[in-house]
């Protein structure tokens, strides 16, 4: 559901910008937020308060400083000179050290902010890797495609938004198909196939040109949507099923945190690459803004495609660990009978 709504949002956003103004994008969050509050009050059950849980203050401070410092430093980069700025490297170093401290704190704390011990379950670890790469691919495409449609091809916001509509619909459809196939066959084939489809669709986007027809972009993004639907949700479900039931809430929290962090870092890295590379190409080759933008965008897609291809082994290993877990569970039930 998250993937389909994430890719559907740009379609609605394009219509809002074309027919109104960008301020309405923020105002549109008010009714959806209110609906969320109303439905949560109506349908979420009140749980009992657990008094013996303590908030991991040191873990919270260290991870906030770590992630915040890195994102702040990367957010200040828009040219090659900025990459060499000592202040930026200072923030990055602070962030890396803070994250190392965070890991040490979490491994020693009785009630950690994020329970890193669940990564001892291989199937869960592989599923998180797949989810992180999928988030980078998803949000990298959400960043690059509008630049391609508007800056290179000169279309408006509505056409940009419509580019995401087939992907959103197909993601939802194939997410359902992937869930059914997961119950019958396990994650190995379905997750691996989805990752390959994402990688291939993204890689082809890396070879488009100035004369590429808009319907080709629609088709390739729709192909990516199919791959997202087949890979992400089945991988996440398999990983959650692999951890003990008492750790499910911790596993879900960890999955969501790492997915959000990877999507944020993915957008930052892709945007930095786009800005820096476009400037280099324009200065070195004397290209127009549109040609330089296209070069940077296609190279960005190729980088994302490489990451997607590198995640294919994780899908295969996830399937092996999941099948092994199912066999062990079946053997335990046989002994119990």
HEC profile for 83-123? HCCHHHHHHHHHHHHHHHHHHHHHHHCCCCCCCHHHHHCHH
State residue 139's pLDDT score: 86
Q: Examine the pLDDT at 118 and tell me if it is beyond 80.
A: yes
Query: Which residues are CB-neighbours of 322 under 8 A, at least 6 positions away?
Result: 123, 186, 187, 188, 238, 241, 242
pLDDT above 60 for 6: no
Cα separation, 233 vs 217, in Å, equals: 24
* The pLDDT value given to residue 2: 47
Total H helices, total E strands in the chain = 13, 0
In angstroms, the CA 192 to CA 312 distance is 6
Cβ–Cβ under 8 Å, residues 190 and 234: yes
Mean pLDDT of the 171-175 span: 88
The chain-wide mean pLDDT, for the chain, equals 84
- Would you place residue 207 in the very low, low, confident or very high pLDDT band (cuts 50, 70, 90)? very high
The band of 206, judged by pLDDT with boundaries at 50, 70 and 90, is very high
Judged by DSSP in three states, 54 sits in: coil
| 32 pLDDT tier (thresholds 50, 70, 90) | confident
Q: In this predicted structure, what is the pLDDT of residue 78?
A: 63
**Cα→Cα distances 307→46, 107, 221, 263, 320, Å:** 42, 29, 17, 13, 21
Torsion-angle region of residue 9: left (phi > 0), alpha (psi -120 to 50) or beta? alpha
Backbone φ and ψ for 11, nearest 5 degrees, come out as -65, -50
- According to the model, what pLDDT value does residue 4 have? 47
pLDDT value, residue 7: 53
| Contact call for residues 214 and 159 (beta carbons, < 8 A) | yes
Mean pLDDT value of segment 28-40? 86
Residue 203 near residue 301, CB atoms below 8 Å: yes
Q: Which of 127-131, 185-189, 285-289 has the highest mean pLDDT?
A: 127-131
Q: What percent of the chain has pLDDT over 70?
A: 91
- Look at residues 289, 37, 59, 255 and name the one whose alpha carbon lies nearest to residue 154: 289
What predicted TM-score, i.e. pTM, was given to this entire model?
0.82
pLDDT tens string 97-110: 999 999 999 888 88
CA dist 72 and 91 (Å) reads 8
């Amino acid at each position: 559901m998250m993937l389909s709504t994430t890719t559907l949002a740009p379609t609605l956003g394009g219509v809002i910008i074309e027919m109104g103004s960008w301020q309405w994008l923020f105002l549109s969050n008010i009714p959806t937020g209110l609906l969320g509050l109303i439905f949560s009050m109506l349908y979420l059950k009140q749980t009992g308060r657990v008094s013996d849980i303590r908030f991991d203050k040191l873990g919270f401070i260290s991870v906030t400083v770590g992630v915040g410092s890195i994102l702040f430093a990367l957010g200040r980069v828009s040219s090659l000179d900025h990459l060499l700025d000592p202040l930026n490297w200072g923030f990055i170093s602070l962030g890396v050290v803070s994250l190392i401290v965070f890991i040490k704190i979490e491994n020693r704390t009785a009630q950690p902010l994020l329970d890193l011990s669940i990564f001892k379950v291989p199937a869960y670890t592989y599923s998180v890797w797949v989810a992180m790469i999928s988030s980078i691919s998803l949000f990298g495409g959400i960043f690059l495609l509008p630049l391609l449609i508007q800056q290179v091809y000169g279309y408006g916001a509505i056409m940009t938004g419509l580019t995401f509509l087939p992907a959103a619909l197909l993601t939802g459809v194939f997410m359902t198909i992937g869930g059914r196939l997961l119950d019958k066959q396990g994650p190995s084939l379905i997750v691996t196939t989805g990752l390959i489809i994402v990688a291939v669709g993204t890689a082809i986007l890396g070879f488009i040109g100035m004369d590429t027809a808009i319907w080709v972009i629609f088709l390739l993004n729709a192909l990516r949507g199919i791959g997202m639907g087949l890979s992400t949700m089945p991988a996440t479900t398999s990983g959650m099923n692999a951890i003990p039931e008492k750790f499910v809430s911790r596993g879900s929290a960890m999955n969501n945190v790492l997915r959000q962090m990877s999507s944020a870092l993915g957008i930052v890295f892709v945007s930095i690459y786009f800005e820096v590379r476009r400037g280099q190409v324009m200065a070195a080759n004397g290209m127009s803004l549109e040609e330089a933008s296209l070069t940077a965008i296609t190279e960005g897609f190729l980088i994302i495609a490489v990451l997607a291809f590198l995640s294919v082994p994780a899908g295969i290993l996830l399937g092996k660990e999941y099948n092994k877990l199912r066999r062990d569970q079946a053997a335990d039930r046989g002994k119990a009978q």
